[in-house]
Structure 1
């Protein structure tokens, strides 16, 4: 399929594109809407009466097979990605905070926030299948390979918008301790969706000097698409033009927060310890479009018969993939037009920010997904754990997030915040050593008394 489907497109569109968004800055002691995005109870820790979110953006790209130089260079990606025997995971994740506002009123705090998301994921893809479909099996110019893979191999793209209404309350506060709880109610605006899943794939791929065929094969296929991504899921514009669809979904975040105040510090917002727990993205959205399709098929290519895999090399549309498979006669049913629900990537997160000495803090953060990525109606995410040392004053901070996630492994980054402006990367330091992740984020917010 076309240039590993989207990879080169996104790299061209964003330049240098980790999985924990706003790594380091989202646990800053400054507080605000970014912190509330991670835990709605953090609204109670606003340092000013009002906060205005102007614009913040985070773009993450991680892989278990490609180094940083490969990710940003963009040459021979298909060849390198499908070398070896390890299943391929490749994740792009973009998150943009639009206009937002928060206000603190005595023990209460309220927020309004807009966001947009774009995600592209390749999960558990067998490298032999990927090489055969995208490259005419250039990594094996002749011979055959028998594959038996029990994972649900997925190629998936999703774009949607969100409007969040947050509320938090201080439950208990004295001179030394503060407990808060919060909830964020999210209205979801699904834009476009595309999913190709191949579960329990078994078959033999033959390669005769570039003529690649599949025989003696079975698989459970899911082909689903809606909106702009139905026509072409390799074009960057199809994601950006469909970030906000119609209102058709609902989700919630819940969180609690505890602060142990630092009575020796003259800064009223200083603490010795800030701890939080949150469950986010509990909900789903329904995709509705005139071109909606969501069909489960059984692929069956009998022994002695052959499916030509070369015909899929330049395909960029799931409609075309589906049509070619139907014309081959190896699918068992016709496509079904219907609405379908897609679950958000629900996660549990926990963190603790500890004051070591004046102006020096260390944050420990962990995120665990509550659903696995193999379901066809599931937007994917990653498990993450990070440690972030931070030098922080009232108007300035510099920090270095050190993290490990399940796709790209260990990463080390660097970020800085000056007033309301911040810029950083969760992987810039390991990228210098050709790490398997590339990301960047930046933004600006205003605190008003």
Structure 2
């Protein structure tokens, strides 16, 4: 099972490309629906009276072990992932915006948006335990003990958003706006394996790795297409929009220090993704277990880890542990609520000289990634210098990401078409641990 996860991540890193979607274009002074996705109060700053979003997509990968140069040089990916004692973290994240519309009307502005989202996350995976399961690569005996929750987590869902913004105050020099977005959530598929406070011993006996004297609290959950596994891309693309079963909200405020052309300063604060969605289906399962692996007459060496290498989904993992008698059920539900990744964001876009702007941005998560019911994200701080004309724009976004570290990229806009990456420069010139790409087209109508 682990080997399939690794192959999937490797392919994704090569072909997709981390958590700050549409970096650079989403703070453009050509204001549109992407700006409102960062802060709904930006709708009152729409550059056109009417805005139509036709299509936009962003795909991101970030990790803390594998650099771009490692892939180019043909290094063994599995060896790099499990090297050292630090936990393995990886985030694979995609957003696709469909048809959207926004308009200004007197002091009000309104917006409508559609979005599909998918995430696959590896959170604080212990490298010794993962290596033993994946390859039996254990010599002698190794003790594993940690006080955090290791998670493999996959989620897909759809959103329909309704936004409103109002200009609160405006004169020749200053402008204040406030806005909110209500998101209707359509849960698609979900899966989670959480292994909390794991402690145990891995022994190599006759070229086989065994786990013994082990305890942990385990959550195993699955819903929708992910019952059959969550490393197949088709399981995400075919199960994004389910039935309406959740709501979330965004709130934001915005300030502009105006000048003749546009502004000297555009700044904002927002809290986004407050809420969650409930997965309900007769085939769903979310079960908490107490894991206790000890030697028995039937299994004197403990649990043989090679049993998991052919498992394709969490139901098979669950069955193996149940059949060996190592799991004690503590709680089980067919309906379970999952929280969106709530974030606080702040930004300031500053005019340095005419046509040259510098945008500062930070995103800080408010949820706890170690909780089994939490969809994850990562903290980001970025700076984006941007040369901007009415119909043309070029920019370079540089960020410090919680998982992947320093990244730098490039993007451009020509009329309504835009394309970019916040990591292409560092991927080509240094050992970047992130890859991302976005593209889209929108129309502004007077």
TM-score range, shorter chain: over 0.9
Q: Aligned partners of 1:221 and 1:182: how far apart in 2?
A: 41
Q: Give yes or no for the alignment of 1:427 onto 2:433.
A: no
Residue 380 of structure 1 and its aligned partner are, at CA, apart by: 0.3
Determine the structure 1 residue equivalent to 2:66: 66
Instruction: Give deviations 1:103-159, integer Å, cap 9, x for gaps.
Output: 11111110110001000000111000111112222xx4x211101111100000000
Determine the structure 2 residue equivalent to 1:399: 395
Q: Aligned partners of 2:73 and 2:172: how far apart in 1?
A: 54
Q: Aligned partners of 2:211 and 2:336: how far apart in 1?
A: 31
Determine the structure 2 residue equivalent to 1:256: 253
Determine the structure 2 residue equivalent to 1:225: 222
- Coordinate RMSD, CA, aligned: 1.7
Determine the structure 2 residue equivalent to 1:241: 238
Residue 96 of structure 1 and its aligned partner are, at CA, apart by: 0.7
1:123-142 correspondence runs (5 A):
123-137=123-137, 140=138, 142=139
Q: Would the alpha carbon gap of residues 71 and 241 (structure 1) be closer, same or farther in structure 2, given more than 3 Å must change?
A: farther
Q: How many residues align?
A: 441
1:271 maps to which of 238, 250, 263:
263
Residue 85 of structure 1 and its aligned partner are, at CA, apart by: 1.3
Determine the structure 2 residue equivalent to 1:146: 143
2:413 maps to which of 401, 413, 417:
417
Contact 1:10 1:236 in 2 (8 A): no
Contact 1:5 1:316 in 2 (8 A): no
Instruction: Give deviations 1:339-382, integer Å, cap 9, x for gaps.
Output: 00000000000000000001110010001101120000000011
Q: Would the alpha carbon gap of residues 70 and 162 (structure 1) be closer, same or farther in structure 2, given more than 3 Å must change?
A: farther
SS in 2 for 1:290: coil
Residue 234 of structure 1 and its aligned partner are, at CA, apart by: 1.6
Question: Is there any run of 5+ residues in structure 1 with no aligned partner, and where?
Answer: none
Determine the structure 2 residue equivalent to 1:289: 281
Residue 4 of structure 1 and its aligned partner are, at CA, apart by: 5.0
Residue 405 of structure 1 and its aligned partner are, at CA, apart by: 1.0
What TM-score comes out, normalization by structure 1 length? 0.95
Contact 1:158 1:379 in 2 (8 A): yes
Determine the structure 2 residue equivalent to 1:38: 38
Determine the structure 1 residue equivalent to 2:112: 112
Q: Would the alpha carbon gap of residues 108 and 280 (structure 1) be closer, same or farther in structure 2, given more than 3 Å must change?
A: same
Q: Aligned partners of 1:170 and 1:423: how far apart in 2?
A: 31
Determine the structure 1 residue equivalent to 2:83: 83
Q: Give yes or no for the alignment of 1:157 onto 2:149.
A: no
Determine the structure 2 residue equivalent to 1:382: 378
Q: Aligned partners of 2:141 and 2:251: how far apart in 1?
A: 52
- Greater CA drift, 306-315 or 111-120: 306-315
Q: Aligned partners of 2:249 and 2:358: how far apart in 1?
A: 29
Contact 2:16 2:435 in 1 (8 A): yes
Q: Aligned partners of 2:56 and 2:114: how far apart in 1?
A: 11
Residue 210 of structure 1 and its aligned partner are, at CA, apart by: 3.9
Q: Aligned partners of 1:385 and 1:336: how far apart in 2?
A: 39
Residue 408 of structure 1 and its aligned partner are, at CA, apart by: 0.4
Determine the structure 2 residue equivalent to 1:193: 190
Q: Would the alpha carbon gap of residues 326 and 249 (structure 1) be closer, same or farther in structure 2, given more than 3 Å must change?
A: same
Contact 1:69 1:434 in 2 (8 A): yes
SS in 2 for 1:147: strand
